[in-house]
Chains A and B, each alone.
Chain A
Amino acid sequence: MPSAVKKTGQILIKGISNPDELNLDGQLPFYSFKRFFVPEKEGLFDYQNNKLRDKKSVYPERSQRALVGMNILDMKAVNLYDQVFEKDPYYQARRRNILIVGYSLTPEIENNIFEHKYEEDILEHLPFDIFLADYNAPSSRELRNSPPLKLRGGSGGLYKVFTGSIKGQRILEHFGYKDYEHIQFSGPIKEGEADKRMERLRDRLKNHHNLKIWEELGQRCIECGKCTLACPTCFCFRIDDAPAIKENLGERSRCWDSCYYQEFSEVVGGHKFLDNTAKRIHFWYFHKFARIPDEFNFMGCVGCHRCAAVCPVGIDINKVLEDIENS
Chain B
Amino acid sequence: MHNPYQPEPAKIVSISRQTSSVKLFRFEFAQNIPGWKFSYQPGQFVELSLPGFGEAPFAPCGGIKEKYIELCVRNVGKLTARLHAMKVGDRVAVRGPYGNGAWPAGKYDFKVQKNLFIAVGGLGLAPLRSLLLGKNYFLGKDTKVQIFYGARNPQEMLFRHEYENWKKLKIKMELTIDKEHAGWKGHTGLVTTLFDKCDVLQNSVAFLVGPPVMYKPVLERLKKLGFADEDIYLSLERRMHCAVGACQHCAVGSYYTCKDGPVFSWAQIKNIPDAI
Can you report 25 A-B residue pairs in the complex whose CB atoms are below 8 A from each other? A52-B93, A54-B6, A87-B244, A89-B1, A206-B253, A206-B271, A209-B273, A236-B247, A237-B242, A237-B246, A238-B247, A239-B54, A239-B55, A239-B247, A241-B51, A241-B53, A265-B239, A267-B237, A271-B212, A273-B239, A287-B248, A287-B251, A290-B253, A290-B254, A291-B251
Secondary structure dominating the interface of A: mixed
Partner of B247, one of A206, A237, A243, A294: A237
Inter-chain contact total with CB atoms closer than 8 Å: 111
- Nearest CB of chain B from residue A11's CB, rounded to whole Å: 29
The closest CB in chain A to the CB of B213 belongs to A271
- Nearest CB of chain B from residue A192's CB, rounded to whole Å: 23
A286 neighbours in B (Cβ, 8 Å): 253
Q: Which of B246-276 contact A (CB under 8 A)?
A: 246-249, 251, 253-254, 271, 273-274
In the complex the two chains form, is A88's CB within 8 Å of B4's CB? yes
Partner of B51, one of A87, A250, A291: A250
A118 close to B (CB within 8 Å): no
Residues of A within 8 A of B (CB): 44-45, 47, 49-52, 54, 56, 84-85, 87-89, 92-93, 206-207, 209, 235-241, 243, 250, 252, 254, 257, 259, 264-269, 271, 273-274, 279, 283, 286-287, 290-291, 294-295
In the complex the two chains form, is A51's CB within 8 Å of B251's CB? no
- Nearest CB of chain A from residue B7's CB, rounded to whole Å: 7
B5 close to A (CB within 8 Å): yes
A264 neighbours in B (Cβ, 8 Å): 239, 249
Whether A236 touches B51, Cβ cut-off 8 Å, given contacts A51-B91, A54-B6, A206-B254, is no
Q: How far is the CA of A92 from the CA of B242 in the complex (A)?
A: 17
The closest CB in chain B to the CB of A286 belongs to B253
A238 neighbours in B (Cβ, 8 Å): 241, 247, 249
Q: How far is the CA of A206 from the CA of B273 in the complex (A)?
A: 10
In the complex the two chains form, is B5's CB within 8 Å of A44's CB? yes
